[in-house]
Amino acid sequence: MRIIFYDSKSYDKQSFDKALRHFSDISIEYMVADLDERTAVYSKEYDAVCAFVNSVIDADVLKILYDNGIRLVLMRCAGFNNVDVNEADRLGITVMRVPGYSPEAVAELAMGLALAAQRRIHKAYIKVRENNFSLQGLTGVTLHGKTAGIVGTGKIGAAMCRICRGFGMKVIAYDKYHNESLDFVEYVELDRLLSESDLISLHCPLDDTTYHLIDERTIDMMKNGVILVNTSRGAIVNTDALIKGIRDMKFHAVGLDVYEEESDYVFENLEDDILQHSITARLLSFPNVIVTSHQGFLTEEALDAISETTLKNAKAFISGDITGENVVK
């Protein structure tokens, strides 16, 4: 199988080349460009494409891939909201993903964002670099004894529940499907979670039911001084409502690894550019907000798991054994 690998970064090539040693019948051609309607044409002469979270895989792109003979789309991530799954199914294109590469990696970053934002570690670091050792503006809160509200208790959300419990927090959660392994978690309705939690961490997929789940109405339900963390999908939070809530002093701290505008910026170096009408710049103007660049997955262990599972998915397709949660339906 020959795979064309879109939106490749140095860490992708390193981890996939390492994994390829164990898959002698698979080869990869790396492309810097991401997958969209313009670049889909390069898939000709290949057997599969490998794409990531911000790749455009809509009906138009899928039609080009199909015409080029592509019958397999390998997503090297868990999410697939950027894929027109119905069109892929209609064309007979199989879409496979990596559902659980390293849930602890994302959950650990979520807690890291919560701690860094609410203890103002980012501000303290900058102050000390300028020889300013004043503690003004650095007051945080103690998480021990507080209530953590986890929205979504899949593998990542469950890992976050366990981390919060380790901090001595009471853990409540909202999910349509209860995780029986979390016997220390109390499942509650979303409204109650929003009103009782001191820390709210989002770990749900993006779909029609979760789009702008956090909006002006749900923010109003939250405690004053709440800590909000999103390492899931940007559009789960209505950014305009979030900014209003920050300005209204609703939040003690906000930590975001994902945000609505990220598709234009994420993973790119734009340090010499002036961002026009940037939501990201507005968020960064607040002293109690930390924004990172969708790096929840970026640990050595997670990269190894992503590359190995992606290549195993390709191998399964070759052998005709395409079943289980790795197949997107």
* Tens-place pLDDT, residues 112-122: 999 999 999 99
Q: Is the pLDDT of residue 267 over 90?
A: no
Delimit the CATH 3.40.50.720 region(s) of the chain.
2-101+299-319, 103-291
Residue type, 246: I
The domain defined by 2-101+299-319 carries CATH number 3.40.50.720: yes
Our answer to whether residue 144 is catalytic in this structure is no
- Residue 97 C-alpha from the chain's centroid: 14
Paired with 199 in beta bridges are 148, 227
Any idea what DSSP says for residue 40?
Answer: G
76, 97, 252, 294: the active-site residue: 294
Residue 115 host element (H or E): helix 103-118
Q: Is the pLDDT of residue 14 over 60?
A: yes
Q: How far apart are CA 224 and CA 235, in angstroms?
A: 23
233, 252, 260, 308: the active-site residue: 233
Mean pLDDT over residues 2-12, rounded? 96
pLDDT of res. 272: 59
Our answer to whether residue 294 is catalytic in this structure is yes
* pLDDT confidence band for 78 (50 / 70 / 90): confident
pLDDT of res. 261: 65
- The highest-level CATH class for domain 103-291 is alpha beta
The string of pLDDT tens digits covering residues 22-70 is 999 999 999 999 999 999 999 999 999 999 988 999 999 999 999 999 9
Our answer to whether residue 262 is catalytic in this structure is yes
* pLDDT confidence band for 277 (50 / 70 / 90): low
Phi/psi at 154 (nearest 5 deg)?
-70, -155
Sheet of 72-75: strand order equals 27-30, 2-5, 48-51, 72-75, 94-96
Q: What is the pTM of this model?
A: 0.85
